Every structure is written in C-alpha cells, then in structure tokens.
A and B are shown apart, each in its own frame.
Chain A
Amino acid sequence: MSNVHNIVVAGLGGQGVLKVTDILAEAVFRAGFDVKKSEVHGMSQRGGSVSSEVRYGEKVASPMVPAGEADVLAVLDASQVDVVKSVLKSDGVIITPEDLPLDKLQNPKALNTMMLGAISNHIEIPVETLLESLKANLPEKLHEMNVEMFNLGRNSR
C-alpha cells in the first residue's frame, strides 16, 4: 500500500474534525482516487478527543492509518498533539493552529476550513476540486467566508 496517501485530522468535539474530513474525502473521490475515511468519535459530541483519517490512492484496504504512516497530521487543538502524534511518519508534515493566521480567523468554527487550506499544500488534489467539495458540504450562506478561510490557510506557509 505504498501508493496510499494518509491524512489524519484531530481535535476536540465541536471543532468540525468530521466535517473537514468529509470535505477532504469527497474531494479525493471527485478527483478519481480510491478513498476510505474513518473516524473515532464515540461520545465526542461532548467535547472529548476526536480524530478522523482519510486514505487515498489507487487502491485502499484498511480504513485506518497505521501508526507511523500518516503523511499529514493536522491538529485543530494544540492539546491533542501528544494524543495523536504517534500516527505521523518520521518525515511527515504536522500542522497545528500555530501555523495558521489565527488573527484573521473570522469565526472559530471555520478553523477547520482554514486548516483544510493548509493541508491542500501537501496533497495533490486540485484546489478547484477541494472548493467544489467544500461548497457541496456546507450551506450556501457559509460559502464565501469558508472559501476565504481556506485561501488564508493555503497561503499561510
């Protein structure tokens, strides 16, 4: 499964971890890849740890990213880095809120789409496809703001 790309997003219940991986998974699906998306949420609606994983490539088997094999680890709450860091590859990329232009974040609920913008720099999925999926997964009135946050995240490096 060496041709499989592994993206893990972690955070706390309510931060939109599942929403952003839904957007990402649908985008890689639209881009023509095989894809699997998995999540651990349990009782996470109550503010606990949440993580979700997107794997894509020519053919994906297990829906779960094995320890030490994540190419990109995006963490929406700094407190969760220690909880999930063992999933990251030795030469993998970790993105935390510190790497994002948080001063320009219009609404804390859009941290996830800002993070998606940052993730987009590390995956070979066309930006247009990611934005199409983002729009398909959010109500229209939220499109403008979330596209703006996505672009801020994308231009943050």
Chain B
Amino acid sequence: MSEKLLVNGNEAVALAAIDCHVDLGCGYPGTPSSEILDEFARLGGSAEWAPNEKCALEVGIGTALANGRTLVTMKHVGLNVAADPFFTIAYSGTPGGVVVISADDPGMASSQNEQDNRRYAVSAGVPMFEPSDSQECYDFLIEAFRLADTFRSPVLFRMTTRVCHSKCILNRHGAGLAPRKAEFIKDSKSNVMVPAFAKLAHRRLRKDLESMAELNEKGSWNKVIKGSSELGIITSGISYQHVLEAAPEASILKLGFTWPLPKKLIADFAASVKRCIVIDEGDNFLADNINAMGISVEGKDQEFRFGELNVTRVRKLIAGDNTPEPPAAPGKPPQLCVGCPHRNTFEALRDLECIVSGDIGCYTLGVMPPFNAIHSCVCMGASVTVGLGMRKMLPENEARKVVSVIGDSTFLHTGINGIVEMVYNRPATGHVVIILDNSITAMTGLQENPATGRKLDHTPAPAVSLEKIVEGIGVDNVDIIDTTAEHEKFKALLQERLSSNDTSVIIARRPCILAAVKAKSYEVKK
C-alpha cells in the first residue's frame, strides 16, 4: 500500500499513528496541535480529549504500562502542565511506547510565549525527533515509536507551527509497526519510582541515552548534503527548508533526531567545512549543545531569537547581518465575534470598573477595545489564583473590585484547584469568579470538553456539572445567569456579590454562537 497525499504535518502524524496501530490518542487542544487527534479519530483511531495535558499524559502512560502504544498531543505550554509525569516516566519507561507531541509556536501566532521545548528533552533525558515537513512527520513518528519499543523510553516529538500547518506532499508508504497486545506484567522495580528503584532507573536512563546517541550516529533520520567546503550549515526542523532555499550552495547537516546528539557525525561535518554555522529557530539549542561538546560552531545573534525564521532571515543570518529588521505591517487584530456571549459580560465588568484577572481562551480578547476589561493573564487556570493573590494584597476598597474570569474548558483544565484555594484560604473580602461558560472549547477550533456532553468525536458523553463542582468544594454562592438575555440582572448580581465578603461563583452560561450551529448538526448525526 502506498499513496500520495497533500496533507499538513498534523494530518501526517495522524496517518502515521494509524499505520503504527496506536492504541490510544489523548491530549488537550492547543494551537497548533489540535487537529492531530480530530484527524486520528476521523481515520478510525481511538482518541479522547483529557481535561488537561497532565491527565492526558498519565492516561497515556497507563495505557503504555498495559503494553499499549499511545500518542499524547499538546501545544508547547501544555508540556509545562504535563512536566511532572514527563520527568519521571523518563526514568521508569513503559513497555508500550508513549510519544509526546509538543507543538511549539515560535512567533506566537496563538500563544502567550515562545518557549523552546527542546530544552525539555535535555532536562528530562528523553530522546527527541524534529520533523521539517509532512513526510518527516509521518516517517519520524514511526521511528519514534520504534525507538520507544527498543528502549522502553518515552519520546518527545517536537513540531512547530509551520510544520503542523503547512501542507506538502506525503508518500504514505504504510510500512508502520505491528499492533501490540494488551498485558500488564507486575514489575514494581521498573514501574514504582520510590527512591531505591528510581536511583537504579536514573542510572539506566543515562546509559540508555548513551546507547541512543550511538544509534543516532548511523540513523536515516539525519542526512548530510555535500556542497561547498567553504560553508557548512547544521540545522533541524523547519529551518532546514529555509536553508535549502537561502543557501543552495552550502554543505548541510540536517538533523532529525536531535536528542541525544550524534557527536561524531557533527564533529566530522564541522571539520569538513571552513565555516560551520548553526541555523536554528528559537533558542540556540543546537549551537549551545554542540559547542558544549567541544565542537566549535557559530550560533545566531539574539535578534534572531525572536519570532520565526524564514528564507530572508536565514540569508541575513548567514551574511552575519544583525541589523534590526523593519517591523511587520500591523494586521487587523482578532476580536470577539459579533453576537459572542462574552461581550455582555465584559461590558458589565468595564462599566463597574472591575480589576479583572483573566485566563486563556477567546475571552482573553476582552483585553481589546471597546472592553479593555482584562488586566492580567498568565497561563491556563491562573485567573482564579492570581485574583486571590491580588485580593490579599490590595486595600479593601480596591480588593472588592477584583474579579476572576475563566472559560468552561479552562476551568476544568486547571481552574478547579483555584476554587479549592479560594475556599480554604479565603481573602478577607471574599472573591468573585465568573465562569464564562460558552459550552465549548472555542478558541482552538470548537473542540468538546468534559462539560459539553459530547466526546471528541461529538457522540454523546456524560456531562460534568460545573455548578456541582463549585458547590461541592464549598463556595458560598453559586449563580447561573445568561448575561446577554439578563444583562441588568447580571450587573446587579455582580455588584451585590462584590460588596459582600462571600466567596462567589457566577456561571455566565450561553453557548458560543459558532458552536451552537455545529451542536445542532451533531444531534442530527446521532
């Protein structure tokens, strides 16, 4: 079986997962990774949205401990949430393979930072692949699962926005991996990370990394393109594609398996050229690690650490031209949709001059005019706890203005802990949390979540009740209101809650206008 397809990197990953007989795909939606699981499910794979990335990775680990093969997907900041299991599963490993997709967003097309998650591979001691196009997404995912089978190790699969979302031609050759059989072997020494066993596991991990580095010297995933002996370029990921175009005359060492690095291959390449420069998007990851091995290569100027690389910037980089670039023409920023239920909530918050601790979702756009009604935003779930911190520091008249706003999916992701904190360590003035419940995970493309009553594939599922959760934790007041239909009532309610010393949750419930249309089509389907 072999077919030629025009697909983006996310679709290529899903196709490879099918051809590797992946038993379970799980993750949390996040641009640019979100389409992988939708596509995997559409192709017949078993896929689910977890409440957050930590849960997703842990379910993946459990499946793999039962000898299954699992694909866990998330955007770069999601791995911060999943970092706890990620570091320790590197020690113990799993009999079935776990591949963790980290979809990084250099240039921040849709993210709050541009962290370079290749650092996680080094820090946790996890091997890493970096595809540069859809073909490599497909081929390397198969290699990643093969490596996982060989070493019992989790594998980090680092993609970036342009790799995830660019379409190119894929030869789906179908040479994947055989299915695995479910079984659980009780092997506590390998799978229970108490200190006595973890000490052994850590030694095993470092030894395995040495073996992987050796394997990496000869792998098909790295390639040398012989060109001029004057200029040699070491590169990986999407930067490789820009290099091919910017410096067609150069010799190129293109790395696909970028941790642990193949020292001899790199040293031989560097020695074969007069000038050796590393072209690397994001951190100086390759240059720093190669120089640390005692192989002298040129890295890039700080100027190129910001944003994405492209052909023009790579040409500048090779020319040693570090002059600041002209700023890009400002485009039209996104806005809350006309008819979006959040609009009415933000109007009230603005009119009441609240201090608003915000969160991650469409509603972060409440920061834009005409609302100007988000005053802090850090990471998923932080609205509740950051708001509590403000209440504790500010004088009473100011503290009373502090409101936390959080979406339904974000609340289930990491907002619940904040409510526990609010009840346990309550500020003297109490606090007010508004759950902006539009009954969908809207910003990333209308994915389901545990409260929508539908699974990833939009078939019916048990719905988690937001109001029962907050009531159960022990919040003083829980109200449910449609801030569009009952705008004045909402304003009065908000004022009343702000003037009391109670802990209050107001669930502002009205479906996203984009999701409402879709939800109807799902009902017809079933």
Contact = CB atoms under 8 A, between A and B. Distances in A.
Nearest to A64: B310
Contact of A63 (B6, B162, B337): B162
A62 B244 contact: yes
A59 B31 CA distance: 29
B317 to A, nearest CB: 14
Contacts of B310: 62, 64, 66
A141 B311 CA distance: 41
Contact of B168 (A1, A63, A79, A84): A63
Interface in A75-130: 79-80, 82-84, 86
Interface in B260-317: 310-312
B333 interface: yes
B241 A62 contact: yes
Interface string B324-345: 0000011111111100000000
B329 A83 contact: yes
Given A37-B167, A43-B443, A83 B335 contact: no
A40 interface: yes
A115 B362 CA distance: 30
Contact of B332 (A1, A45, A47, A62): A47
A41 B34 CA distance: 14
A63 B240 CA distance: 11
Contacts of A83: 329-332
Contacts, number: 103
A95 to B, nearest CB: 19
B365 interface: yes
B353 interface: no
Nearest to B442: A45
Number of chain A interface residues as a range = 35 or more
Contacts of B109: 40-42
Contacts of B413: none
B331 A29 contact: no
A63 B131 CA distance: 14
A20 interface: no
A7 to B, nearest CB: 14
Contact of B329 (A43, A60, A86): A86
Interface string B417-456: 0000000000000000000000000010100000000000
Contacts of A49: 331-333
Contacts of A1: 245, 248
Contacts of A25: 6, 167
Given A1-B245, A38-B162, A43-B365, A48 B169 contact: no
B488 to A, nearest CB: 27
A37 B245 contact: no
Contacts of A41: 109-110, 165
Contact of A43 (B165, B238, B334): B334
Contacts of A42: 31, 109-110, 334
Q: Is the interface of A mostly helix, strand, loop or mixed?
A: mixed
A67 B248 CA distance: 18
A131 interface: no
Nearest to B244: A61
B150 interface: no
B329 A44 contact: no
Contact of A34 (B169, B331, B333): B169
A35 B332 contact: no
Contacts of B8: 37
B242 interface: yes
Given A42-B109, A62-B241, A66-B310, A47 B335 contact: yes
B220 interface: no
A83 B334 CA distance: 15
A46 interface: yes
Contact of A46 (B168, B248, B335): B335
A67 B31 CA distance: 25
A42 B335 CA distance: 12
Contacts of A44: 334
Which 10 interchain pairs have the tightest Cβ spacing?
A49-B331, A48-B334, A46-B334, A63-B166, A61-B244, A43-B334, A42-B109, A37-B167, A66-B311, A42-B110
Given A42-B334, A46-B334, 17 more contacts: A29-B6, A29-B169, A37-B6, A37-B8, A42-B109, A44-B334, A45-B445, A45-B514, A46-B337, A61-B242, A62-B241, A62-B242, A63-B168, A64-B242, A66-B310, A82-B329, A83-B330
Interface of A: 1, 12-13, 22, 25-26, 29, 34-49, 60-64, 66-67, 79-80, 82-84, 86
11 contacts: A29-B169, A35-B169, A40-B109, A42-B31, A42-B110, A43-B362, A45-B514, A46-B334, A48-B335, A64-B162, A83-B332
Interface of B: 6, 8, 31, 109-110, 133, 162, 165-169, 238, 241-242, 244-245, 248, 310-312, 329-337, 362, 365, 443, 445, 514
